[in-house]
Amino acid sequence: MATPTTPAPGPAKKVNRIGLELAAYRGGKSTLCAGCGHNAISERIVEAFYEMGVDAAEVIKLSGIGCSSKSPAYFLGQSHGFNAVHGRMPSVATGAMLANRGLTAIGVSGDGDTGAIGIGQFVHLMRRNLPMIYIVENNGCYGLTKGQLSPTADLGSTLKNGVVNDLPAIDLCSLAIDLGASFVARSFSGDKKQMLSLLKAAIAHRGTAMLDIISPCVTFNDHEGSTKSYSYVKDHEEPLEEISFVPFFEDITVDYEPGTVQAVSLHDGSKLFLKKLAGDYDPTNKATARRVIYESAARGEYATGLIYVEPGKPDFVAQLNLVDEPLATLPEARVRPSRAALDEIVKELL
Ligand SMILES: Cc1ncc(C[n+]2csc(CCOP(=O)(O)OP(=O)(O)O)c2C)c(N)n1
Ligand code: SF4
Ligand SMILES: [Mg+2]
């Protein structure tokens, strides 16, 4: 008779600092086109939240309408979610963050959702510096409705059928900086390393972290003549810095030559080490940030990386002086005026 054997233990599963595997941060299977830049962004969001060890149950993901706005279904399956009306995600996000200040909010929008129908909501979100990560998956077209030009399409770029765009582009990074966002970055869905560092830094930041990620639409806007195609962006990306992100829970030292690296401390104690690639670029200087955007656009290039950061700027929730306890969890007895107080108000109105 054969002797029973105990199966050899398999390799230990890799978990993050709260004991969860990467799979716990995934969402449903993507229904977007194969090769769409938006899919690569969802993958990096999964990795960033996993590596930061964020509890997905304390995250709210929000979006508007578009292919980009469908993507929250493909990450963080255990988080709260709200798929809002076209261009109206910012007001829903504002309500959610005021009701529950303890949440981490991540919004995903498109260049149409943000730059066209939602521009009014976008500008007020940026000027309020609401604590949230706001991602624009920017493909320069309305992908979901078959590729019409959007407000971020560059002047002179063409549609697949040869139609030339004769309107100037809105630069969402420039707008966000002018309006008051405290963390503004541009990246490319094909640049995995840069995007991951920026996403982790955005999670560590308190305030609006606006990430404009060029994310090619392979079906409607990946041809010659487009300035949002994979090959165009790959050839015209100009990273401002080499970014090393060190989360607050890791004790890592970064070696660098004095004067070559700028260190930026973020709200939760995490640090960014920015090795300058373009002269002596300083992302804490608003005037320099604006200049670099204008100059790179004039050359037909995309300056990518952390463009502007103001880590200490008070966010909207702090400015409103809300109680520390999230309003959503306060018991009714503490949010409802007493009978006597209501009687007093009614008396004043009579
Ligand atoms: C009120 C309203 N107007 C228009 C539409 C049609 N529509 C759906 S998605 C979309 C634009 C999507 O473009 P974008 O935000 O850039 O997302 P993408 O699909 O390119 O990722 C439009 C105009 C709509 N759904 N609702
Ligand atoms: S139509 Fe374009 S934006 Fe929409 S899923 Fe396909 S490739 Fe992506
Ligand atoms: Mg789009």
In this predicted model, what pLDDT tens digit does every residue of 295-340 receive, in sequence order? 999 999 999 999 999 999 999 999 999 999 999 999 988 888 899 9
pLDDT, one tens digit for every residue, the chain (350 residues) = 455 567 777 778 899 999 999 999 999 999 999 999 999 999 999 999 999 999 999 999 999 999 999 999 999 999 999 999 999 999 999 999 999 999 999 999 999 999 999 999 999 999 999 999 999 999 999 999 999 999 999 999 999 999 999 999 999 999 999 999 999 999 999 999 999 999 999 999 999 999 999 999 999 999 999 999 999 999 999 999 999 999 999 987 777 777 789 999 999 999 999 998 867 789 999 999 999 999 999 999 999 999 999 999 999 999 999 999 999 999 988 888 899 999 999 999 99
Centroid of ligand 1 to alpha carbon of 330 (angstroms):
37
- The helix (H) or strand (E) run that includes residue 64 is none
Q: Which atom of ligand 1 is nearest to the CA of 116?
A: 15
Q: Which residues pair with 261 in a beta bridge?
A: 275
Residue among 207, 226, 205 at smallest CA distance from 215: 226
Going 322 to 323 to 329 to 332, the CA torsion angle's sign is: negative
Q: Which atom of ligand 2 is nearest to the CA of 66?
A: 4
Prediction pTM value: 0.94
The per-residue pLDDT for 8 is 75
Location of structure tokens 């409103």: 320
CA 325, CA 311: separation in Å to the nearest integer?
A: 23
- The answer to whether the CB of 324 falls within 8 A of the CB of 330 is no
Structure tokens at 323: 């109680």
Q: Is 121 in the pocket of ligand 1 (CB under 6 A)?
A: no
Calculated CA dihedral for residues 253, 256, 260, 262, nearest 10 degrees? 0
CA 213, CA 43: separation in Å to the nearest integer?
A: 13
DSSP 164: B
Q: Which atom of ligand 2 is nearest to the CA of 67?
A: 4
The residue nearest atom 5 of ligand 2, judged by CA position, is 32
CA 263, CA 271: separation in Å to the nearest integer?
A: 7
The residue nearest atom 13 of ligand 1, judged by CA position, is 142
CA 40, CA 266: separation in Å to the nearest integer?
A: 26
Q: Which atom of ligand 1 is nearest to the CA of 65?
A: 9
Q: Is 189 in the pocket of ligand 1 (CB under 6 A)?
A: no
Centroid of ligand 1 to alpha carbon of 36 (angstroms):
16
The residue nearest atom 6 of ligand 2, judged by CA position, is 33
End-to-end alpha carbon distance in the chain: 95
* φ, ψ for residue 239, nearest 5 deg: -65, 135
Query: 3-state DSSP helix/strand/coil percent for the chain, to nearest 5?
Result: 35, 20, 45
- The pocket around ligand 2, CB under 6 angstroms, is made up of 32-33, 36, 38, 67, 139, 143-144, 217-220
